[in-house]
Chains A and B, each alone.
Chain A
Amino acid sequence: MELIKLEDIYKTYHLGEIDVPVLKGVSLSVARGEMVALMGASGSGKTTLMNILGCLDRASTGRYWLDGQEISGLSSDELANLRNQKIGFVFQTFNLLPRTSALENVMMPLSYTPQGLPAREVRERCAALLQRVGLDDRMDHEPSQLSGGQQQRVAIARALVNRPPLLFADEPTGNLDSRTSEEILQMFGQLNAEEGITIILVTHDAGIARHAQRVIHIHDGMIEDGTGADEPQGAQAPRAAPGAQPPRRPEASP
């Protein structure tokens, strides 16, 4: 079953008089449980696409189904709720709250869930997640007392706290050394394999993209035909069906 389905997405920025088209008809789909890399040079529209996929931005035209829900027409409050419930974000710069303990950083998204959890359950869930990312002895440390890899683990725990089906990682290893990068990427692989979380890695580094089951290349606002060639270890890709043939209309949705 498809978790993400984009249909003919266009995105145009209006800078004064000039219209800057960034996405020019992107269609793709990502199945549940996939680990996909989104690759492209800077200026290719990669970030814009990620923002649209992550419900942070809206497409100018086109349709987007997330988890079977058409989201193009949702209000910004509904989008916020969707982000809270269904999407976890991991950023290149970690974006942890300064001078706030790891545990509280992980707890932060829960304060925006509409159905509030009891304080004790919140604590237990967050502690368990920190344990899952191997930081059970660092719960009370503040970001400044943690190494880059540890900070990124806290960020991963924070992204998972609402048990989202979808995890976005925007250059998650950009600020890490190669060894730590490897650890983090392994953790993504683990989460994908063990928990069945769909992961989208946004990167410009082919070495990182290799960890994904499928690579989607974006170039100049369009998905490049990368159907099979770039699939590094596509052994267990649940659906071979290519999600992206930009110029053509995709198959009719079920």
Chain B
Amino acid sequence: MIAPLTRRLLRLVAVLGVVALAAFGLMQASPIDPVDAYLGPQVAQVSPEQRALIAERWGADQPATQQFLHWLGNMLRGELGWSRVYNAPVSEVIGTRFMASLPLLASAWLGATLIGFALGVIAGTREGGWVDRWICRYAYTLASTPTFWLAILGLLLFSVTLGWTPVCCAGPAGVTRDELSLATRLHHLLLPALTLSLLGVAQITLHTRARMLELMRSEVALHALAQGASRRDVAWRHGARHACLPALTLAFASLGELFGGSMLVEQVFSYPGLGRATVEAGLRSDVPLLLAIALFTALFVSVGNALADGLYRLVDPRLRQVHP
């Protein structure tokens, strides 16, 4: 049990190293000059000397390797730098934004996993039946739907036409976060979370269904049917048992998709979470914030991937046997 765990941790560190290197390299390669981006329209009013001074203070005149090592050292010490867009320490921006996104991500993840799994088992019970056909159609359509378009449709229908849900943001304008009541927060969270979870449902449904079909065609199912079991009995007693681990694995492995989806959904609903901060940082060339977010989400996603791999070892009795 220990050896695979160590190997997995080493792998995680290696992946984060490659991500850090790649992200930093890409930022370096960008034709957009961070100093120009920082100054914005005021660039015309700044003399070349002043400009060089800023560049020097940021260390932009040093060779790239040195800058990278310097930056990596800062990262490891927890000094993530200063966000120019939000005019606050990067660590603080990520902290507050992530806390705002967390309920959205968590509810969408949980909803997608549970609904997707149930639909997958139901569809897989009777392959080719009308329930299966409709669930499949639904899942295929959803899987091909652009996330942000789904969000736009939701906004049009529930917020603009019906007026059931608010049009934007995490709370009414002019009210600070601390003053919001739980009900108001949930009201603002409802539509974004629903949109985001609908997105994940399709993938988990189709994956669960594939596992179900595999089982329903196996000797185990044939044997159970020969004992007089109904298809529903086989599906829930044997199928769900076999499909739940793959479904959970997929749910952990698709945290990256979930985060990508949250960027789009937060953009459409103007929800002040980490996803929107990422977009802002990218559009306005806030390099320290962008790099820190890239690393943070890589950690988030890689841990999810590692968990997905590790789950099998913990849950399957056949694999438990190998490493007692």
Q: Do A and B bind each other?
A: no
Q: Which A positions have Cβ atoms within 8 angstroms of B?
A: none
